Amino acid sequence: MTITAPRHLWRTLAGLCAALLLATGVAVSGATTASAANNNEIAWNFFRSKGLSEAQTAGLIGNFIHESGSDPINPAAVQYGGGPGRGLAQWEGSRRTDLENFAAQRGVAWSNLQLQLDFVWLELQGTERNAYNQLLTTSTPADAAVSVRIYYERPSVHADDLRIAAAQRVHNTYTGSGGDPGDPDPSGATAQVMGDGVNVRTSPSLSGSIIGSLPAGPVTIQCQTRGDSIQGQYTSDWWAKVSVNGTTGYATRAWIRVDYGVNVPTC
């Protein structure tokens, strides 16, 4: 997003001061707490489950570490000095308004981590689709970090060395963990339908004909594929291939939860 240079200069100084204060046991307003120690892991699993590679996921989180001025990432971050930036990506202007409206629609605080992760994905599938497409062309944490900075964050002060270093740390920590899709498993994957009456369609799209519906409870996913992006319990463009009434079709993953560590094969 377009910002002015002082924002990043102040944030860099603030981050150094915060680190010194935390090291001496002094509380810092807006800093993450021990309860948020797994924020990076939550974000990692979220973006991996969306189909992003380990490098691409690290690039996003590395930027959020830099933008929020905290490692682990801090969704409650407020721009240093009282500026307009808020959250993981330090959204401001119309994008901050969109975040706040998104939060109001869901009835949760704008500082909620899951809300902001869903909002990032909503942007990447909509208004920031170009940033998403550019991110998909990257194959290393460094390239991904720079891509996110150029196309998604769009700051006037680049600080690429800090973004890349953060992305590489994240990559080193979580490489090999989390994430759909994975290698095919003939037995499929057990998941949980989070709402009653989730439609099963002939294709992974709202234009597909409805052939049945899934009740709330356990379901076996044969495989998953990408299709229309749907907002439900989650926001997802993944569709699960399932069977209903003896017929195979597709149900949106927006209402289907897969536990961490469960490997869902791709169709």
pLDDT at 186 over 50: no
Among 13-17, 186-190, 233-237, which stretch is predicted with the lowest mean pLDDT?
Answer: 13-17
Contact between 244 and 202 (Cβ < 8 Å): no
SS in 3 state form for 195-247?
CCCEEEECCCCCCCCEEEEECCEEEEECEEEEEEEEECCCEEEEEEEEEECCE
CB of 182 within 8 A of CB of 263? yes
Say whether 6 sits in a helix, a strand or coil. helix
DSSP tag of 153: I
This prediction's pTM: 0.57
* Domain locations in the chain as residue ranges: 39-175, 189-258
Q: What 3-state DSSP class applies to 139?
A: coil
Give the CATH fold of the 189-258 domain: SH3 type barrels. (2.30.30)
Residue 98 token pair: 């969109």
CA dihedral 255, 240, 206, 237 (to 10 degrees): 80
Task: Kindly tell me if the per-residue pLDDT of 251 is higher than 50.
Answer: yes
The whole-angstrom separation of Cα 167 and Cα 5 is: 22
The continuous run of DSSP H or E covering 118 comes out as helix 113-125
Report residue 260's pLDDT band, with 50, 70 and 90 as the boundaries. low
> Going by CATH, does the domain composed of 39-175 fall within 1.10.530.10?
yes
Query: What's phi and psi for 222, nearest 5 deg?
Result: -70, -40
Residue type, 142: A
